[in-house]
Structure 1
Amino acid sequence: MDLLCDAYSNASDNDEEEQPKRHKSSYTSTNPPKPYFPSPISNLHTQQPLIPGSYVSKRQRAYMSSISTTPVVPHSPSFTLSGSISEADIPHNILALLKSNAKGHHNLNSVSEKLSATLSGHTRAVNAIHWSSTHAHLLASAGMDNMVCIWNVWSRDKKKACALNFHNAAVKDVKWSQQGLFLLSCGYDCTSRLVDVEKGMETQVFREDQMVGVIKFHPDNSSLFLSGGSKGYIKLWDIRTGKVVHNYHRNLGSVLDVEFTTNGKQFISSSDVSGSNISENSIIVWDVSRQVPLSNQVYVEAYTCPCVRCHPFDPVFVAQSNGNYVAIFSTTPPYRLNKYKRYENHGVSGFPIKCNFSLDGKKLASGSSDGSIYLYDYQSSKVLKKIKAFDQACMDIAFHPVMPNVIASCSWDGSILVFE
């Protein structure tokens, strides 16, 4: 009864019809009325669960109604949501192409110069871009402004879906996982970071004692990835345990790139040799499981190679050379350089410019220090097309994983362009 009396005496409604009736009381000087202090509304935030059948005031009902219809959005200062990662706002014709099963193995006769999208948001150079293979409308970019951006490329509304600011220094590389909306990035803060983009949460941090310049997921096991850094260490990490599975070290210079072979049993590393007079160790083929180099004299010219890429089908790989050409090698012993074929005419000029094969392997695309995109015929090594894209160096090229005639590119000036 005392609890009921207190509840009624502290009721906060102003409507008399909802107040319980009370008998009039006479007060004397020796029996003054007790002062009435209505409960502040802030107390409603900490109330205990209501007992069924108990009295609920109008104000309390209104408050409960408001909190039941307002979704709780987790806030993180390192995650800025400015658009949507959903497919809902993509034009139907583009969505139909994204949902197709083409996987890029036909209609590769031409890549036009039609500009499909201009993506602006980075304030400094963009080092790397990567399409999601599972959510092909999303493109990720890594910038020197410490930021990773997720772009909903064909959205009618805001193309910049979100920005990730988990890194404390420049971001060098970014890769989508083959499993869902997980994104891996690395940078000058000596970490690789795994982010659940859908939840906007950083799920794991992999710390090293070197700046991390490159990461690469294993082609057959998305729980494993390679990282290479400024001290020449290459590590194979297991995401499930957060620990290093293997270490690969051979007194290397800074690791510039790593690339798994198509079978996943070997990988190729490229290292900086500018501090020495010999080019030994500039490109090394490693055995993944035995942690030993299978060959360290693959490329004997005195140039560093900022990028290595394996052909999707043929047993060859290419290396972007600071000699202003792309060299081609075999991925089978003795891993020889093809002295009779190279991809020339573009410029590198000391920039870490990347190249990539099309999904059917018939084309090779390369960025260039003059801001152009160069498209080469893989077999003949002839230039098929030159697209002037940027005023400053074109850093990376990425073929779309589904639509064969779509390529994305990024620049030293911080801009990203998508052509179709």
Structure 2
Amino acid sequence: MDLLCDAYSNSSDEDEEEEKEKPKRQKFSHSFSNPPKPYLPSPSPPSNLHTQALIPGSYVSKRQRASMASITTPHSVPLSSSSFTLSGSISDADIPHNIVALLKSKANGHKNLNLVPDKLSATLSGHTRAVNAIHWSSTHAHLLASAGMDNTICIWNVWSRDKKKACVLNFHNAAVKDVKWSQQGHFMISCGYDCTSRLVDVEKGMETQVFREDQMVGVIKFHPDNSNLFLSGGSKGHIKLWDIRTGKVVHNYNRNLGSILDVEFTMNGKQFISSSDVSGSNISENSIIVWDVARQVPLSNQVYVEAYTCPCVRRHPFDPVFVAQSNGNYIAIFGTTSPYRLNKYKRYENHGVSGFPIKCNFNLDGKKLASGSSDGSIYLYDYQSSKVLKKIKAFDQACLDIAFHPVMPNVIASCSWDGSILVFE
């Protein structure tokens, strides 16, 4: 930003100023200490150039609009080789024919819904620090995305005969906390400690939009019925609903919460569930809140009365229930209709959480629930009985996230605190 300020310091000759701006724009810094802004600061008064930034919805003077129009925004800055590294291919051309057939035939894949993953299928190595989240692409189901504490996102071509790590994205300036594929082709959104959510066209290797906040962003979730909308939750307890088409916030959901750990839409998309950190207050109120999406109001904040933080919430794919991973070392289950009651007679136990951000997920038909564990294992539960079907020892350190494949029901991916990713079938 200092470079942009220098560009505005001499205003006597517009042509000379324009010539000075050109080379400085090419040096635009993306360092964490001075991240790029979505808008340029007001050129007047000069003494406040470092602190004044345009606020969405505020009045913009003609002078400001003119200056904004004359400067290339960060979105159109040519990508450097350090932002996108292509090491393999995202095409399915190099995948064995039997795998391609399964990926393209959902009906055939669903014949094996009762199978339990037990064999290691792929080991994916590339992250140098903990992997926080993984997510399969539903439209290109051979691709898996992973978000790491090493500031990178890796795209894996899991069954490729050649290089399984297809590409590495380095658009974030700090640790990446979450990543989600869109239902629209190769688009993907991610968020992290650099206070941004970023939309990327993976096929083109281009960052297409940056959504900036005044908080570290820990979780994102696309709306189930409209992929132009997504929720973001962050360290200051603020939850925002964004519209990708305008790049602006549609709704704000604020209630003096602790850090937002997870968000999940209900099946109809009219409500969503949030979980927030209550460890600092020792008060269970607001640990889990059910929100009305349109009215921006909480429908209930007395859902979970035990004084435990829940790092993950997931709704069942068909039944009107959702589960919450609890730091009490169990998964609790609740109804998604008012009064959103806790089922006191059923919980999923035996795995450990121990303060790690351990996630859980349902399989395709909702008959199985899988959870990571602080002991490095994957626990597979029967949804109805809550009994452990299988325990898979996967890692030496905590297993943070698990993801059932969107097409092949007997395939599950997992990631670890040590930076490794394993796929079982």
Task: Confirm or deny a common fold (TM above 0.5).
Answer: yes
RMSD of equivalent CA atoms? 1.1
> Matches of residues 67-82 of structure 1 in structure 2 within 5 Å?
76-82=81-87
Q: Is the 8 A contact 2:79 2:206 kept in 1?
A: no
| Matched residue, 1:253 | 258
Partner SS, residue 304 of structure 2: coil
Amino acid at match of 2:392: I
* Larger-Rg structure: 1
Is 2:334 the partner of 1:315? no
Q: Deviations over 1:276-314 (max 9, x none)?
A: 131000000000000000000000000000000000000
Contact 2:217 2:233 in 1 (8 A): yes
Alignment of 1:8-407 (within 5 A): 76-102=81-107, 105-407=110-412
Alignment partners' CA distance in 1, 2:143 and 2:174: 24
Q: Indicate if the aligned counterparts of 1:103 and 1:402 stay in contact, CA closer than 8 A.
A: no
Shift of 1:106: 3.8
Structure 1 position 113, deviation (Å) = 1.5
Change (3 A) 1:74 1:336: closer
| Deviation (angstroms), 1:154 | 0.2
Q: Higher mean Cα deviation, 93-102 or 171-180? A: 93-102
Distance verdict in 2 for CA 1:104–1:382, change over 3 Å: farther
Q: Equivalent residue of 1:102, what SS?
A: helix
Q: Any conservation in 2 of the 1:103–1:401 contact (CA below 8 Å)?
A: no
How much has 1:360 moved relative to structure 2?
0.2
SS, match of residue 390 in structure 2: strand
In structure 2, what is the Cα distance between the partners aligned to 1:325 and 1:106? Answer: 31
- Contact 1:104/1:359 (<8 A) preserved: no
Match for residue 25 of structure 2?
Answer: none
Q: State the 1:75 CA deviation.
A: 5.5
Q: Aligned AA for 1:217? A: F
- Equivalent-residue separation in structure 1 for 2:376 and 2:291 (angstroms): 33
Aligned partners of 1:104 and 1:360 also within 8 Å: no
Q: What is the letter of the counterpart of residue 228 of structure 2?
A: S
- In 2, Cα distance between equivalents of 1:322 and 1:100: 39
Q: Is the 8 A contact 1:105 1:360 kept in 2?
A: no
Structure 1, unaligned runs of 5 or more: 1-72
SS in 2 for 1:320: strand
CA distance in 1, matches of 2:257, 2:95: 46
Question: What amino acid is the match of 1:93?
Answer: N
TM-score under structure 1 normalisation? 0.82
Distance 1:327 1:146 in 2: 32
Preserved CA contact (<8 Å) 2:151 2:173: yes
What's the offset of the Cα at 1:109? 1.6
Counterpart of 1:334 in 2: which secondary structure? coil
Cα separation, 2, equivalents of 1:388 and 1:275: 33
> 2:366 is paired with a residue of what secondary structure?
coil
Q: Deviations over 1:82-134 (max 9, x none)?
A: 00000100000000000102286442222232111000000000000000000
> What is the distance in 1 between the residues matched to 2:80 and 2:129?
26
State the distance in 1 between where 2:163 and 2:207 align. 23
> How far did residue 198 of structure 1 move?
0.5
| SS in structure 1 of the partner of residue 99 of structure 2 | helix
Give the 3 Å change call, closer, same or farther, for CA 106–298 of structure 1 in structure 2.
Answer: farther
Identity of aligned residues (%): 91
Cα distance in 1 for partners of 2:123, 2:105 equals 24
1:415 is displaced (CA, Å) by: 0.2
How many pairs were matched up? Answer: 348
* Contact 1:104–1:401, Cα closer than 8 Å, also in 2: no
Give the conservation status (yes or no) of the 8 Å contact 2:106–2:408. Answer: no
Q: Secondary structure at the match of 1:202?
A: strand
Say if 1:212 and 1:103 are closer, same or farther in 2 by CA, change over 3 A: farther
User: In the alignment, what sits opposite 1:47?
Assistant: none
5+ unaligned residues in a row in structure 2: which ranges? 1-77
Letter in 1 for 2:400: M
Give, as a single letter, the amino acid of the residue that structure 2 aligns with 1:293.
P
* TM-score relative to the length of structure 2: 0.81
Cα distance in structure 2, aligned partners of 1:216 and 1:238 = 12
Structure 1 stretches of at least 4 aligned residues deviating more than 3 Å after TM superposition = 73-76, 103-106
